[in-house]
Homo-oligomer: A and B are copies of this chain.
Amino acid sequence: MRDFEFKNPTKIIFGKGKIAEVATEIPAEAKILMLYGGGSIKTNGIYEQVKDALKGRQLIEFGGIPANPEYDILLQALKVIKEQGINYLLAVGGGSVIDGTKFLSSAALYDGDSPWDILTKGIRTVKGMPFGTVLTIPATGSEMNSGAVITRAETQEKLGMGGPGLFPEFSVLDPQVVSSLPKRQIVNGITDAYTHVLEQYMTYPAGAYLQDRFAESIMQTLVDVGPRVIENPADYEAASNFMWCCTMALNGLIQKGVPTDWAVHSMGHELTALYGIDHARTLAIVAPSHYRYNFDAKKEKLAQYAERVWGLSQGTLEDKATAAIEKTEEFFQSMDIQTKLSDYTDAFEGTAELIAKRFSARGWTGLGEHKKLAPADVEKIIEMSY
């Protein structure tokens, strides 16, 4: 097991009807900016629940944060924060709204030239404007971590940021929100969370037995409850396990003491930036090819995953490892998540070369758990994903 530090101070408030509790979590004198997305919260009742809970409080709204939170729109929200003297942010939405809110939390207290520097210069946020979240789409885990990914259409870029100052003070997780989600968002959420676990698990044996079993526990649970949630999003038992899995998949716990990969995300982000493919689907496109390309480096963990998550005990280590990749693809496909780039765009030719060039331009030469994947490797992996 590797050395690690772990601290996660976010308070989780989990259960039916818990949205009302935002009122007790946000200081009475706070001047609140409530941030949300495309307006689905206005049709599913969540908007009303939050507004009711905060009746009589100093509250301004900012809606319209899109999936893959767009820098230019966030700058408009930043202007509101500064002009209105906002001192508390409340994200009501999924990972995009929460990530956008994290950017604003950081940018609101940033005194450099341009807030874009936070993303391009890798500035860690030690202290941000305090914020809480009401999670409406289980998927990214952003509700209990300190990271965010921001998109800039102008430059077709999607970049990460983070720091200990970006944990939500609280997050309300009411699994009832799942019942009103379209199937597309549910299957994206399952795929996103599942791939988050893979990124922190599918490397090489590192003697971190407990972390391995925790990671496997999340994947097993998603495999168990995923079909139930898709079949009936109002199945509270399935929805609550799905929701808690998504949070636990990326709240820092399973990455402690182990090597992590994250190359699938690095490559997937490019596919979203170039073609607007849903984040989760880019991961399902890239992951199988990534594991096939790096088979020798990952085969021990692939075989362990085959045995413990998929119950595959027959054959050689290589047989099991190979079957595990197939099982993973089948799992994604069973949820109508296609696993090839050509399933999403006809204009895929040249994508691999383009992404490799973008990685070279940024100086990204050491991806993956061994920090060895070069742009040339990325090019081959993306080609295998066509």
Which A residues are closer than 8 A to B by beta carbons?
1-16, 18, 175, 207-211, 213-214, 216-218, 220-221, 224-225, 237, 240-241, 244-245, 248, 256-257
In the complex, A1 Cα to B235 Cα: how many Å?
12
Residues of B near A2 (CB, < 8 A) are 15
Residues of B near A11 (CB, < 8 A) are 5-7
In the complex, A225 Cα to B1 Cα: how many Å?
13
In the complex, how many angstroms separate the beta carbon of A239 from the nearest chain B beta carbon?
9
Given contacts A237-B1, A240-B1, whether A221 and B213 have CB atoms under 8 Å apart is: yes
B244:A210 contact, CB within 8 angstroms? yes
B12:A7 contact, CB within 8 angstroms? yes
Given contacts A209-B224, A220-B213, whether A244 and B12 have CB atoms under 8 Å apart is: no
Residue in contact with A4 in the complex, picked from B1, B7, B15, B218, CB distance below 8 Å: B15
Residues of B near A217 (CB, < 8 A) are 210, 213-214, 216-217
In the complex, how many angstroms separate the beta carbon of A370 from the nearest chain B beta carbon?
20
Residues of B near A16 (CB, < 8 A) are 3
10 contacts between A and B (CB under 8 A): A1-B175, A4-B12, A4-B15, A5-B11, A6-B11, A8-B8, A12-B256, A209-B224, A210-B221, A214-B214
B210:A241 contact, CB within 8 angstroms? yes
In the complex, how many angstroms separate the beta carbon of A174 from the nearest chain B beta carbon?
9
